């Protein structure tokens, strides 16, 4: 079965992020293709697949273009038996579906006032009454889900599921706009910030995409609040890496970076830059770093 997933800009496209996280939960290799938002309107770039198409768009082996994130979740859950998109437990599954649908059709103030930006972060963001009401709605919904499913690990419905994939970009907004939330909610946001898939999506976005001016806000800036245990890494052009082979491909390590006074190499620019963006997102690099 050959599926292809077409996605948008990683830094800004919250729906694409959901589609990509769902593909991870499908537990199978799915080919991906990325559109650049600045090249042309998305619907124009996707017009070969049908009228008014948006990203994420999943092309099925039969050639059907599924361009809605809930439909993508259902399609992948139907077709890949090893997927962990929906919880096994019927009650938890029903709650996960309710949460996903609530996100899909709601939270328009949060979406409009705090557009996702995985590179720029803000502080002292004014919270309108409408935004405060949606934050309260979110907190109530998330607490309800965790309590009703007796989730043991902080995710919404037991193990990480489509419910968490759908709220990952919401966590990114709460973190990036430093929105006022309870300690319980802050911990849930933190789980996302520490999640390997979340971090890898963001790190590749930082390595390959350009933050778009139209999403920039006038609030005071602060550093993106990614939890980092290592000192910052930087790109370098001269040096001798500790490793001969790229930790990702095994090819010669020719693109260099420095971290903590140590030099490492990767086989191409993107692999180097995604590692510099967030070294801790990459288990293969962390194994090398600790070796």
Return the HEC string of the chain: CCCEEEECCCCCCHHHHHHHHHHHHCCCCCEEEECCCCCCCHHHHCHHHCCCCCCCEEECCCCCEECCHHHHHHHHHHHCCCCCCCCCCHHHHHHHHHHHHHHHHCCHHHHHHCCCCCCCEECCCCCCHHHHHHHHHHHHHHHHHHHHCCCCCCCCCCCCCHHHHHHHHHHHHHHHCCCCCCHHHHHHHHHHHHCHHHHHHHHHHHHHCCCCHHHCCCCCEECCCCCCCCCCEEEECCCCCCCCECCCCCCECCEEEEECCEEEEECCHHHHHHHHHCHHHCHHHHHHHHC
CB of 288 to ligand GSH, least distance (A): 34
Tell me how crowded residue 42 is: count the other CB atoms within 10 A of its CB.
22
Q: Work out how close the CB of 74 gets to ligand GSH at its nearest, in angstroms, rounded to a whole number.
A: 12
Nearer to ligand GSH, 42 or 266 (CB): 42
Joined together, the tokens standing for residue 154 give 């902080």
Candidate list 14, 149, 200, 275; residue touching ligand GSH; CB under 6 A: 14
Rounded Cα–Cα distance for residues 57 and 7 (Å): 7
Of the listed pieces 54-62, 160-168, 198-206, 210-218, which binds ligand GSH according to CB under 6 A?
54-62
The only residue of 8, 87, 158, 241 in contact with ligand GSH, by rule CB under 6 A = 8
The nearer residue to ligand GSH, 68 or 159, going by C-beta atoms, is: 68
Taking CB under 6 A as the binding criterion, the range among 6-14, 26-34, 83-91, 241-249 that sits at the site for ligand GSH is: 6-14
Selected range binding ligand GSH among 40-48, 80-88, 199-207, 274-282, rule: CB under 6 A: 40-48
* Shortest distance (Å) from residue 12 CB to ligand GSH: 7
Smallest distance from ligand GSH to CB 18, Å: 7
Q: Which of 26, 34, 56, 280 binds ligand GSH (CB under 6 A)?
A: 56
Minimum Å distance from CB 112 to ligand GSH? 12
Q: How many residues bind ligand GSH (CB under 6 A)?
A: 14
The candidate with the shortest Cα–Cα distance to 121, out of 53, 223, 26, is: 223
Compute the least distance from the CB of residue 32 to ligand GSH, in Å: 15
Whether 114 contacts 177, CB under 8 Å: yes
Stretch 76-135 residues interacting with ligand GSH (CB under 6 A): 104
The yes or no reply on residue 54 touching ligand GSH (CB under 6 A) is yes
Residue 41 or 81 with smaller CB distance to ligand GSH: 41
Piece in contact with ligand GSH (CB under 6 A), picked from 53-61, 135-143, 203-211, 264-272: 53-61
Which residues sit at the interface with ligand GSH, rule CB under 6 A?
A: 8, 13-16, 41-43, 54-56, 68-69, 104
């Amino acid at each position: 079965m050959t599926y292809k997933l077409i996605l948008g800009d990683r830094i800004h496209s919250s729906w694409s992020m959901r589609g990509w996280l769902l593909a991870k939960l499908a537990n199978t290799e799915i080919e991906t293709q990325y559109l650049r938002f600045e090249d042309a309107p998305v619907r124009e770039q996707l017009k070969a697949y049908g009228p008014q198409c948006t990203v994420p768009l999943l092309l099925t082996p039969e050639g059907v273009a599924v361009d809605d994130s809930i439909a993508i979740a259902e399609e992948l859950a139907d077709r890949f038996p090893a997927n962990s998109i929906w919880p096994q437990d019927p009650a938890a599954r029903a709650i996960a579906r309710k949460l996903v649908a609530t996100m899909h059709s709601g939270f328009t103030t949060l979406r409009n006032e705090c557009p996702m930006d995985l590179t720029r972060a803000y502080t002292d963001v004014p919270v309108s009454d409408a935004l405060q009401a949606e934050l309260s709605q979110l907190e109530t919904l998330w607490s309800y889900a965790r309590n009703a499913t007796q989730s043991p690990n902080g995710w919404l419905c037991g193990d990480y599921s489509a419910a968490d994939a759908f709220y990952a970009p919401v966590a990114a907004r709460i973190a990036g706009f430093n929105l006022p939330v309870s300690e319980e909610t802050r911990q849930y946001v933190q789980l996302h910030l520490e999640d390997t898939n979340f971090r890898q999506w963001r790190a590749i976005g930082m390595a390959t995409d350009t933050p778009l001016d139209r999403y920039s806000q006038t609030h005071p800036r602060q550093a993106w609040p990614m939890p980092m245990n290592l000192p910052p890494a930087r790109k370098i052009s001269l040096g001798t890496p500790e490793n001969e082979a790229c930790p990702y491909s095994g090819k010669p390590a020719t693109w260099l970076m420095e971290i903590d006074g140590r030099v490492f190499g990767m086989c191409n620019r993107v692999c180097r830059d995604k590692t510099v963006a967030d070294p801790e997102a990459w288990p293969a690099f962390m194994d090398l770093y600790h070796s």
